[in-house]
Structures are given as C-alpha cells and as structure tokens.
Amino acid sequence: MQTVRNQITESRPSALAEVAAQALAKQSSRLSFPAELEQAFLISHDARHARTNRMFALLGALFILISGVNDFWAMPDQAWLTILLRAGALLLALLAVLAIGVRTILPRMGALYPSLLVLFSLYSQAALLFITGVAAEQLHFTYQLGPLLLLLFICLLTRLRFQITLIIVICMWYMQYFATSLWIRLPAEQSVYVMAVYTVLSIIVLLANYRFERESRRVFLQDLLLVTEREELKAARVQIEQLSLTDDLTGVGNRRHFDRQLSHEWLRAKRSRQSLSLLLFDIDAFTHYNEQYGRASGDRCLLKVAETIQSRARRQSDLLCRYSSEQFALLTPDINPADALLLGKSIVDTVASLSLPHEDAPKHSHVTISAGCMTLWPHKQPDIKDLIQGADRNLREAKRAGGNQVEATSTVEAGH
Ligand SMILES: Nc1nc2c(ncn2[C@@H]2O[C@H](COP(=O)(O)OP(=O)(O)OP(=O)(O)O)[C@@H](O)[C@H]2O)c(=O)[nH]1
C-alpha cells in the first residue's frame, strides 16, 4: 500500500559534519581530528594524493638510477655495485607504485604504500651516502647534492603526511650526520657546511610539509561540510515535495497526489493492457455527525475511516488519497470488476463493524460509509474522465439507495 507519509525519511544532520564544523571553527594548529573524522581524513588524503605520489616516486627512483651514469666516471671499479644499489631504490619505488595501484582491490596492500615510500626514502638516502663515500674526492660536492634533492623530493613533491615526513627527516638527518662524520672523509669545515645546509633544508621542508597538511585538512573539512549540506538540501527538497502531496489530517495522499498518480496509473494500465479500478468513499450523514459530536470528533472519524480503508487495501500498487474534504479515493490497478466490488464491500462492512456511535444517522446508530466503484480498461477507453465520473455516479447511487453499500460498474457491464 503506497502512503505518502511513510515515504518521508527522517533526516538528521550527519554527526561527522557536526564534528567537522567544530574543527573548522576551532582552527587548531594541531594536525589531528577526533578519531572518526581523522579516519575519514586519512582515507581521503591518501586517495587524493595516491596518483601524484605514484608518479613522483617512480620519477625519483628513475632519476636516482639514471644519475648513476656518473658512477662509471667517478668510481669505475665499483660502478656496477653502485648501479645495483641504485636499482634497489627503483625496486622499492615500484613496490610502492604497485601498492597504490592495487589499493582499491587489495586495501591491505594499498595501506602499505606510505611505509614503502618511507623505506624507499631511507634506503635511497643510505645508498646515496654510501656511494658518496666511495666516490672520488673531487666529486664529493656533486654527490652531496643527491641526499639534498632526495629530501626536497620526498618531503615536498610526494605529499606524505607530516607525521611520516617528520620521521623520514629525522632519520635522514641522522644518517647524513653519521655519514658526514664517519664515512665521507671531508675536511672539518666542509662537514660543518654540509650539515648546516642539510639542517636548514630539513627545517624548511618540514615547515612547508606542515603547512601543506594544514591546508589539506582545512580543504577536507570544507569539502565534507559542502557535501553534507548538499545532501541535506536534497533530502529537505524531497521531504517538502512529499509533504506537499500529503493530507495533514489523515496522512494519506492529497488530491494533488491523486491527480498525478491517476494519470500515471492510467498510462501504465494502458501500456500493459490491464484494468484500473477507482473506488470513491463518503461518510454517510457526515454533516449530522459534525453537528452532533463537533468538528474535532468529525476529524477523528475521518482519520479512523482513512485508517480502515488503508488497512483493507493491502496491495503494493493500491493508492489511497483524500479526494475531497469528506471523500476518499482508492485507486487499484489490475483487478477484475468482481474483486473490486468485493474489496469495496469489505471496506464498507469493516467501517460499519467499528460501531463508531452516530445517533443522528438516518438509518443506523453508528458511522457507515458508501462507495462507488468503477473499473475500466484504459487501452479500450479513450477518456480518463469516464473513470472518475463512473465512480462518482455509482457513489451517488449508493447514497440514494440508503448508504452503507457499494455500487459498482465496469466497462464490460456498461457494454464497451
Ligand atoms: N470534521 C470535519 N468535517 C469535514 C471536513 N471536511 C468536510 N467536512 C464536513 O463534511 C460535511 C459534508 O459531508 P457530505 O458527505 O457532503 O454530506 P453528508 O452530510 O455526509 O451527506 P451524505 O453524503 O449525503 O450522506 C460537511 O458538514 C463538512 O463540513 C473535515 O476536514 N473535518
């Protein structure tokens, strides 16, 4: 049974959006949100930057490998060893690229990609420092550029989260420090110079990475609120539309809904060459009822009658609407005239059996209703008005015959 009210969905503002609004208002300098929001942010952040991270990781590894051409000139004896070391970086980058590529089908493997990028950075740093140590002394300066470029590249181009970047930068700084003091034999003042440059650059990339993540979090919150607002607006529009089709008193469809559905069902029945029945119900001597029991009781009586009709019209395709202030219309497709009449009778009898007191009723001392039923086959019938006029005529006939009964006709009986 279609009713309008039960289609209305309760729309509550998303709890996540509320937390997002609070976080946005706070403008905290901390790079964390409450747990549920943080989870959503991490997923969206990783997904957003996965493509660029994949591309830059691969480009970086290729650069490390290709720049190994130097090694043949700087350390011909160990060139193949160093190329092998450089190829290790490419392998780790490829693993990270693979993890990013399969993250939608294998989420567990996909979740490994930030760790693989960390591994790639630390391994590449170790390899580059080792190669710098074995390089000919006059080439130290050129080789020192490698770790610096790696630092810039991993912290600024690939958008790893600040927490991860911090770990990478600290580890890389220590590796640089130990390699500079123990492995790469540089004059003392050059070591200080190298470490000073490395430290300044580390601080710069950390600050930049921090700002990137803060901005990324702000954009995430704004997007989330925008999406939620859009969804709420959509839900409100649907709710308003549905309320505009509902009768306030009884909760069934109103006349507007009936008119829309009638033409819709008419065309559908026409297409599928099925019948369409309309039953019109009216409370007998309702004016007297109102006069004797008051309008509020009259309203309760209308509600009871609507509930009773609805409880008898159980098919999914049945549609009950308040047709006019004191009449109800039941539209029921694909039912034969005899069954439509039986349905009307069972509704009329059920209302009578409620024994709602109506002492001023001309015939009975309880509330009764009358019904007019019309069944048509729209593919044989040119005019939709015949359905309404037929049901209305039969309703008046039932009233004339004393009420508490159903009068029904169909095109078959009418000789069409
Ligand atoms: N309580 C109440 N009464 C209503 C409402 N809408 C219409 N009515 C009353 O319904 C009565 C009209 O009912 P009708 O069915 O036309 O007339 P009737 O008195 O029932 O006469 P018959 O139909 O011939 O039996 C009027 O008294 C209206 O005031 C409503 O929303 N609430």
**Can you give the CATH number for the domain in which 338 is found?**
3.30.70.270
Judge if 329 and 213 occupy the same domain.
Answer: no
Task: Specify if 415 maps to a domain.
Answer: no
Category of 187 on φ-ψ map: left (φ > 0), alpha (ψ -120 to 50) or beta = beta
The proportion of the chain whose per-residue pLDDT surpasses 90, expressed as a percent, equals 46
| pLDDT (0 to 100) of residue 146 | 82
Judge if 165 and 291 occupy the same domain.
Answer: no
- Structural domain span for residue 199: 5-231
- Pocket flag, ligand 1, residue 325 (CB < 6 Å): yes
End-of-domain residue from the set 175, 197, 231:
231
pTM: 0.59
- What is the number of domains present in the chain? 2
What whole-number distance in Å separates Cα of residue 227 and Cα of residue 341?
A: 51
Task: Specify if 248 maps to a domain.
Answer: no
Task: Specify if 282 maps to a domain.
Answer: yes
Task: Specify if 240 maps to a domain.
Answer: no
Task: Specify if 335 maps to a domain.
Answer: yes
Query: Which atom of ligand 1 approaches the CA of 297 most closely?
Result: 1
Judge if 125 and 262 occupy the same domain.
Answer: no
What whole-number distance in Å separates Cα of residue 320 and Cα of residue 331?
A: 6
- Residue 31 pLDDT exceeds 50: yes
Task: Specify if 340 maps to a domain.
Answer: yes
Judge if 156 and 297 occupy the same domain.
Answer: no
Task: Specify if 247 maps to a domain.
Answer: no
Between 397 and 241, whose confidence is greater? 397
Ligand 1: residue of 247, 287, 295 to mutate (most ligand atoms within 8 A of CB) is: 287
- Residue 414 pLDDT exceeds 90: no
**ipTM strictly over 0.85?**
yes
Judge if 11 and 123 occupy the same domain.
Answer: yes
Provide mean pLDDT across the span 104-111: 83
Judge if 261 and 227 occupy the same domain.
Answer: no
- CB proximity list for 210: less than 8 A, separation 6 or greater: 31, 162
- Say which range, 183-197, 289-303, 375-389, has the weakest mean pLDDT: 183-197
Sheet holding 319-324, edge to edge: 319-324, 327-333, 276-283, 369-376, 406-410
Judge if 208 and 306 occupy the same domain.
Answer: no
Q: What is the 3-state secondary structure (H, E, C) of 376-394?
A: ECCCCCCCCHHHHHHHHHH
- Pocket flag, ligand 1, residue 285 (CB < 6 Å): yes
Q: Which of 194, 55, 61 is nearest to 123 (CA)?
A: 61
Amino acid at the residue 74: A
212 is written with which tokens?
């990137």
| pLDDT (0 to 100) of residue 54 | 82
Provide mean pLDDT across the span 373-384: 89
Task: Specify if 200 maps to a domain.
Answer: yes
- Pocket flag, ligand 1, residue 276 (CB < 6 Å): no
| pLDDT (0 to 100) of residue 111 | 81
Question: Going by CA atoms, what residue is nearest to atom 32 of ligand 1?
Answer: 299
